[in-house]
Amino acid sequence: MGDADVDQAPAASEADLHESSADSDKGLHTEGNCLGVISEGTCELVIDPDVALKACQEVLEKVKMMHTGVSTEEDDVHCSDHLEHMDIHDELVNGETCDTHKTEKSNVYTDGNSINSKLRHSKASAPSKIREEEEPLPGSCNTVKNVRRRQKNNSAKQSWLLRLFESKLFDISMAISYLYNSKEPGVQAYIGNRLFSFRNEEVDFYLPQLLNMYIHMDEDVGDAIKPYIVHRCRQSINFSLQCAWLLGAYSSDMHISTQRHSRGTKLRKVILSDELKPAQRKKDLPPIAPAPELGLSPSKRTHQRSKSDATVSISLSNNLKRTASNPKVENQDEPVRLAPQREFIKSLMGIGKRLATLPTKEQKTQRLISELSLLNHKLPARVWLPTAGFDHHVVRVPHTQAVVLNSKDKAPYLIYVEVLECENFETSNVPVRIPETRIRSTRSVENLPECGITHEQRASSFTTVPNYDNDDEAWSVDDIGELQVELPEVHTNSCDNISQFSVDSITSQESKEPVFIAAGDIRRRLSEQLAHTPTTFRRDPEDPSAVALKEPWQEKVRRIREGSPYGHLPNWRLLSVIVKCGDDLRQELLAFQVLKQLLAIWEQERVPLWIKPYKILVISSDSGMIEPVVNAVSIHQVKKQSQLSLLDYFLQEHGNYTTEAFLTAQRNFVQSCAGYCLVCYLLQVKDRHNGNILLDAEGHIIHIDFGFILSSSPRNLGFETSAFKLTSEFVDVMGGLDGDMFNYFKMLMLQGLIAARKHMEKVVQIVEIMQQGSQLPCFHGSSTIRNLKERFHMNMTEEQLQMLVDQMVDGSMRSITTKLYDGFQYLTNGIM
Amino acid sequence: MAQVEKKAGLLRKSSASKKPLKEKVVLMYDEIFAKDDPAKNNPRFWEELFLMRVNLEYLEGKLESLDGDDLMKIKDNVNSLFHHCIQALGEEHQIKVVNALQTLCALLWGVHQKNKSTSGFDIINMLMGFDKAELRMKDLMESLDTLLCGEGSESLKSLCLKLLLCLVTVTDNISQNSILEYVMINSIFEAILQILSTDPSRRQHGYDAVVLLALLVNYRKYESVNPYIVKLSIIDDETTLNGMGLVLSQALSEYNRQYRDKEEENQGGFFSAITNMVGSMFISDADEKISVQTNEAVLLALYEAVHLNRNFITVLAQSHPEIGMMSTPTTPVPTTPTTPSSMDVMNSAELPLDPNLQTSNLLITFLKYSSIVMQDTKDEHRLNSAKLCLIILSCIAEDQYANSFLHDDNMNFRVNLHRMPMRHRKKAADKNIPSRPLACAVLDLMVEFIVTHMMKEFPMDLYMRCVQVVHKLICYQKKCRVRLHYTWRELWSALINLLKFLMSNETTLLSKYNIFQLALQVVNLFNMFITYGDTFLPTPNSYDELYYEIVRMHQVFDNLYCMVLRLSTNTGQWKEAASKVTHALVNVRAIINHFNPKIESYAAVNHISQLSEDQVLEVVRSNYDTLTLKLQDGLDQYERYSEQPKEAAFFKELVRSISLNVRKNVSLNTLSQDFLLKEFSSIS
């Protein structure tokens, strides 16, 4: 601690200064979007913007002078870079507390320095607390000391760095960036330790980057990262598996001989061998501890269960196992920690592989359903979907709901998965299996929702017409009063029987009056009811997913819940996942990260652009899972099923031009369109045909399939030269070229681009690190990163940027290649 | 079948040739049949006996030669033998167990052969003695239970099941078999379940276990509380139920496969026959040749499972690859209760990978089986089978859960039903059948039945059931607003043709049946479509087509109306039944009377003699609004199936014939099981 204290003393005072500089920065920024934060604040103190500005500028001057004096190293350039942007990080790190801080600090400038010291006190205590947490961590002591020592040696610039690192503004994005850029082992080691202080979710976002660095960069970086990874692996099965999968996937580009001995492969083996168990598990889980003695205590059984279930056998219900004893698994306590989940994933992938061998969609679908029904026998087990945002156990796969997705030679498929939410999937007990047959008790005849209208309603809802049919002949023989009511003779056997006779007949018997209905009404009702549900798609054996995806998610959940033996449980949830086998999802993951980052930037800068990053799970270099976008179908499917133009489809789905529903949908469309146009431009997303663009129920478009990004393009045909896909159909939905919405669209794009440019580093960093050691086609060539950076146009003024956007929009509109490409897709893949 | 008999014959001969040598075991049998206690001179007599290889033929022959009185004389020795057999079952030495089991079979069988008329109690007395009977049977059942559930040899288990089957089928009427009272008290139900729920044992003994269960359930079904009924109705263990489903599915698809093989065989001959003869009339002949013996025992087991156990319905939809299409090595004839060997496709954790393999489930297999069985209802076995099939379908059609998967849009299957070759229609190409929800297949099967059975020997009962199945399905669709994409037109025209047939054969049919019941059912089906069509028809056009079909075939309805009117006005026995039909026809007649003049005037105005379908539909469409219909009560109600009292007699007869069949096969089998003994003698 001694070293650190010495360092900290001067640092603290300077940090103070810097904080004020940061704040002054904020003052400058208030010209832009951030102004909103302050003006929206609830404080009564009104800040005189002029005074604040002046104070800020003064501080800034000082900072700049210091910079020129000290910083020569690359690190420091970064450092200052970051300091300039610190306000933003501050906001990120502090989150909500940010506002109050700011108002407090504004006080400092307006009311003098009285609160300054107080502020300093609170600030300085924070980093040291973090350090206290760090110290006792295994293996970290030495390196921390090393870092300290080195830092002392070149104290001048290191102090800058250290102050940055220890300030609250230092966030995970910066940490990753320094880890990657810094050549100093000390700095790397320090950041490695610093990782422990970030929230798990923050680090998880950068897990692909961390692991890729671990695999492909030099020893020091690896050593710096490893303790953190190991620590997290011990904590969580999920993290262990994620690491193992990513390590496998990102090692795959290495030469086979080096791969075997690489650090990544070794770590992967260690993880998978399950050596990284929590050391003090027993202490952690006191309720489980007494279990072993009891042999058949619930926790014990679940453990056994999850193993046997996930491997081969279907566990027998106990009442049948009268004679057989089951000594095999009794004594093995731990080695199954990862096994059930791995088996689960493996069997899902196995299904995908086998499906790929079948020639027709129909066969694939049938096969999928029967495979899944077998899988069901092994559930529930201690398995989960890694794409979900909460802890749960998978209890059932409603196999008949699964669909095969459209793909020419592979067989990606979409499954729905019933799960039970739980506190912690590692420690909570695996739910007890409820046999499929149990549904019968919960959904017997009596409870079946009566969808048909009753006799009464029927009579009243039809306009009861006078018998004006002139042909009296038809009625003459009938003595209506005598009309006998036909009733089955025996109907008292059980309560089932009674319920079978719907209420209608009983009520109508009382009113002896014969009821007349018009045939025309029946016919009308029929066509009305059919017209009423135009939103369901026709079933098409060649496109089985269309119907399944079109069904509104809530409705699907309700339907599946009704049919599930687990549906009555309060913690029942429905998830869905696309299983991809034979596809490399690493690029998808990269795209997901970039999208997520862009979304965060736009949110932060308050640009109302809408994009939907969907979660990606990379399992190996040729398999993985995707979280499906719910309530969305591809534009191809929309057009094929509805046979309407996109605009007409909008009108059909949402209502007329002037309705609020339509206007909302249109706005959503524009905002998402602008968002994705930027994404497509920045990432150079190609292969944009209508099968790869989804339309959701609210009117948003969502681009999927990022198989061709950055430097790669499909078959190198040189098609799709325009910046992004903007067809005249899209423009029609926006209200045409002259409409307000189209201008709004361009304005959004400009704002989005400016915001993205401001945080370019954060975006580029994600891509740049992943390029390390990668053979992915998106990194083909040497100029990927340079080109990416260029697309942010750092050197342009806003006016120039605006022109650029206009140009790109015009270019895309006029672009024949887009149209050509659609035609090409139609010819080769039948996509409209 | 013949082969097995031959084999048995051979074995008989070989053992017969040894006869003059007087094996030791024969000498020992002789001692038992003497009056003295065989253990008197040789205290180790019984021990030695079971070490000896059984000579079943001799033992059975000896027993058969004795009648009740003779037997009473040596009662003590027989009792002793029985007692020691049971004791031997507990032996560690497997050869003794095997011998004891076989001896017991022979003993039971032999004693019953000669004393069929004797009351059950006397037989119990002869075998065990009244005072000891309860104890002996308890021991026996417990031993069998232990053997069946234990880890012992599979052949041993198989023998146990044979003994049990033998025990159950010694009398023609199972309910008169008093020994079974002890089987009721000392249940082996759990053992049967265990066989069905574990993999290797199911593969080998599943068939016997299922048949045994089906028979036991039918013991004094209507008179007393049968614990097997109670237990079967409450099983909810999926593994067991699935196991049972697999066994049944396997047996049925084995039948389907054999039928198809035969059909293919015959087809060659049939085509060559065609080339030889012009204007062939031999189709029906050729068809008759294609008859594989039906297996009612399996159907009965399926029925009991579906009828008694609500949970079993889910098993019907459990998908698995089509078993019949799997590797098809020569499989044993399914009518013998030896277990089919190609059983286990399912047990491998992974499904086999074959793109040609259709996914199937028990229900599909059953529907195919039904389509074969229903083709020909001439002989009694087949008539019974067809009836049982329809009864099972009724049960399924009443079940809400079954209906939900029958109509599940996500569960589409191609079901290749067998269609009877008929002169006036081409054999539909199998490949063109689209993949549809299973309800379509059920409807297809019903339509097929309706179309193909309008013959002199009119199966009235089957027709009633068939129309009821359709009615139940439509009730579900109406209730849950399921719009099945089915070509209803086929059903309509089949039903109208049925009405036509009923009328043209009025006199012959009326002498035997109440045809008005059937006519009423059919007319009410039309009423369902007319008044509730909006709730379940797939398109507005289908409603128009319904009217078109009724108007087109108006003569049939007119004639029907005339007939029922005639019979309801005079005071014959059919007055009431006929008048019901009269009332039911109200809407149909309203439609005919409304549209016919409109169509005629349309033709007159436009000077067209023959209106096209489209033109008629146009007239229909434009004239709905002036048509008034009457809402009829109770259209969507039906009487639920109940076995008692209506079907009791049928099941009694059925069980009797199954018992006979099973007994025949068991005895054949026990005799031909010498190879078993060899297995054990080599072990020991």
What is residue B140's predicted lDDT score, i.e. its pLDDT? 92
Q: What is the pLDDT of residues A511-521, one digit of tens each?
A: 456 788 888 88
CB distance from A142 to chain B under 8 Å?
no
Say if residues B392 and A394 touch (Cβ distance below 8 Å): no
B432 touches chain A (CB under 8 A): no
Question: In terms of CA atoms, which chain A residue is nearest residue B588?
Answer: A474
> Quick one: pLDDT band at residue B469, thresholds 50, 70, 90?
very high
Which candidate from B353, B537, B590 shows the least CB-CB separation from A526? B537
State chain A's mean pLDDT as an integer: 68
Q: What ipTM was estimated for this complex?
A: 0.76
pLDDT at B248 (0 to 100):
92
DSSP character at residue B574: T
Q: Is B342 helix (H, G, I), strand (E, B) or coil?
A: coil
Residue A564, pLDDT > 60, answer yes
Q: DSSP character for B410?
A: T
A287 pLDDT higher than 70: no
**How sure is the predictor about B355, in pLDDT bands with cuts at 50, 70 and 90?**
very low
Dihedrals phi, psi of A514, to nearest 5 degrees: -70, 145
Minimal Cα distance from A322: which residue of B? B149
**pLDDT value at A727 more than 50:** yes
Would an 8 Å CB–CB cutoff place A438 in contact with chain B?
Answer: yes
Give DSSP secondary structure letters for A551-570: S-HHHHHHHHHHT-TTTTST
- B239 and A529 within 8 Å at the Cβ level: the answer is no
The pLDDT of residue B440: 93
Q: Taking each helix axis from N to C terminus, what angle separates A2-29 and A97-111, rounded to the nearest 10 degrees?
A: 80
pLDDT band at A638 (very low <50, low <70, confident <90, very high): confident
Cα of B214 to nearest chain A Cα, Å: 20
Residues of B in contact with A532 (CB under 8 A): none
From chain A, the residues in CB contact with B404 under 8 A are 563
Q: Which of B81, B142, B143 is nearest to B110 (CA)?
A: B81
Q: B238, B346, B522, B541: best mutation site toward chain A, by most A Cβ within 10 Å? A: B238
Query: Could you tell me the CA-to-CA distances from B182 to A208, B100, B188, B524 in Å, in that order?
Result: 70, 20, 11, 50
Query: Is the confidence at residue B547, as pLDDT, over 50?
Result: yes
CA end-to-end span of chain A, whole Å?
68
DSSP H or E segment with residue A395: strand A392-396
Per-residue pLDDT, B34: 82
Burial of B645 (0-12, 13-18, 19+ CB in 10 A): exposed
pLDDT for B205 beyond 50: yes
pLDDT, residue A281, reads: 44
Return the pLDDT at B521: 93
pLDDT of A310 strictly over 50 = no
**Local confidence band at A58 (pLDDT 50, 70, 90 cut-offs):** low
User: Does the pLDDT value for residue A623 go beyond 70?
Assistant: yes
In percent, the amount of chain A with pLDDT more than 70 equals 58
pLDDT digit string, tens, across residues B243-270: 899 899 988 988 888 888 887 777 655 4
Any B CB within 8 A of A371 CB? yes
Positive or negative CA dihedral for B530, B535, B537, B540?
Answer: positive
From CA A549, how far away is CA A633, in angstroms rounded? 6
Please answer whether residues B209 and B250 qualify as being in contact, where contact means their C-beta atoms are separated by less than 8 angstroms.
Answer: no
Q: How far is B469 from chain A (nearest CA, A)?
A: 15
> Reduced to 3 states, what is the DSSP secondary structure of residue B53?
coil
Which percentage of chain B shows pLDDT scores above 90? 29
Residue-level pLDDT at A210: 86
pLDDT at A782 over 60: yes
Contact, A572 vs A566, CB < 8 A? yes
Q: What pLDDT shows up at residue A643?
A: 83
For residues B423-430, give the mean pLDDT: 57
Residue range A409-425: mean pLDDT, rounded: 86
Q: Please give the average per-residue pLDDT across B167-171, as a whole number.
A: 89
pTM (whole model) above 0.80: no
- Minimum CA–CA partner of B321 in chain A: A370
Q: Could you tell me the pLDDT band of residue B198, with boundaries at 50, 70 and 90?
A: confident
Name the pLDDT band for B449 (thresholds 50, 70, 90).
very high
Chain A residues with CB inside 8 Å of B478's CB?
452
Helix/strand/coil (H/E/C) assignment for every residue in A265-290: HHHHHHHHCCCCCCCCHHHHCHHHCC
Select from A400, A489, A497 the Cβ nearest to the Cβ of B408.
A400
CA atoms within 13 A on the CB side of A502: 21
Long-range contacts, stretch A35-42, CB < 8 angstroms, 24+ apart: A36/A606, A37/A91, A37/A98, A37/A99, A37/A102, A38/A102, A38/A103, A38/A106, A41/A99, A41/A102, A41/A103
Q: What's the whole-number mean pLDDT along residues A730-746?
A: 86
| pLDDT tens digit sequence for B558-608 | 999 999 998 888 777 888 888 899 999 999 999 999 999 999 899 888 888
Higher pLDDT, A120 or B166: B166
Phi-psi region of A274 (alpha: psi -120 to 50; beta: other; left: phi over 0): left
Given a contact cutoff of 8 angstroms between Cβ atoms, the answer to whether A398 and A419 are in contact is: no
Instruction: Give the distance, in angstroms, between the CA of residue B234 and the centroid of all CA atoms in the same chain.
Output: 21
Asked if residue B26 lies in contact with residue B55, where contact means CB atoms within 8 angstroms, the answer is yes
Whether pLDDT at A799 is above 90: no
Give the span between the Cα atoms of B306 and B298, in whole angstroms: 12
DSSP string, A345-363: HHHHHHHHHHHHT-SSHHH
Q: What is the mean pLDDT of residues B618-631?
A: 88
**What digits encode the pLDDT tens for the residues B30-77?**
888 887 777 777 888 888 888 888 888 888 888 878 777 777 788 888
Percent of chain A with pLDDT over 90: 6
For residues A179 and A175, give the distance between their C-alpha atoms in angstroms, rounded to a whole number. 6
> Residue B166 and residue B164: Cα distance in Å, rounded?
5
Distance of CA A28 to the CA centre of its chain: 35
Distance CA B212, CA B112 (A): 19
User: Which member of A358, A439, A526 has the closest CB to residue B534?
Assistant: A526
**Angle at Cα B53 formed by Cα B49 and Cα B54, nearest 5°?**
80
Max avg pLDDT among A157-161, A284-288, B15-19, B392-396: B392-396
Among the partner-chain residues B404, B412, B540, the one whose CB lies closest to the CB of A526 is B540
Query: Testing the interface with A: which of B576, B628, B632, B636 to mutate, by most A Cβ within 10 A?
Result: B628
- The alpha carbons of chain B give a radius of gyration, in whole angstroms, of 30
Between residues A60 and A709, the one the model is more confident about: A709
Q: Which of B422, B421, B385 is nearest to B293 (CA)?
A: B385
User: How would you label A36-71 residue by residue, b for 16+ Cβ within 10 Å and e otherwise?
Assistant: ebbeeeeeeeebeeeebbebbeebbeebeebbeeeb
Which of helix, strand or coil describes residue B332? coil
How far is A502 from chain B, CA to nearest CA, in Å?
A: 8
Mean pLDDT on A280-289: 40
Q: Is the pLDDT of residue B433 over 50?
A: yes
The pair of structure tokens assigned to B172 is: 């023609």
Which residue among A437, A477, A485 sits closest to B634, beta carbon to beta carbon? Answer: A485
Tell me, what amino acid is at A428? Answer: S
**The one-letter amino acid at B444:** D
pLDDT exceeds 60 at position A37: no
Q: Identify the pLDDT of residue B326.
A: 39
Phi-psi region at A687: left, alpha or beta (left = phi > 0; alpha = psi -120 to 50):
left
Which 99-118 residues of chain A touch chain B by CB within 8 A?
none
Report how far apart, in Å, the C-alpha atoms of B527 and of each of B467, B547, B625, B632 are.
Answer: 14, 11, 18, 8
Place of tokens 């800058």: A160
- C-alpha distances out from residue A587 to A423, A621, A630, B110, B655, Å: 33, 10, 22, 79, 67
pLDDT in tens, A198-238: 888 888 888 888 888 888 887 777 888 888 888 888 888 88
The pLDDT score that the predictor gives to residue A170 is 80
Output the average pLDDT for chain B.
81
The per-residue pLDDT for B59 is 84
C-alpha to C-alpha distance for B644 and B666, rounded to whole angstroms: 30
φ and ψ of B187, to 5 deg: -70, 140
Task: For residues B451 and B467, give the distance between their C-alpha atoms in angstroms, rounded to a whole number.
Answer: 12
Distance CA B542, CA B486 (A): 10
- Lowest average pLDDT, out of A18-32, A703-717, A735-749, goes to A18-32
Dist. CA B94–CA B680, nearest whole Å: 7
Neighbours of A113 (CB within 10 A): 10
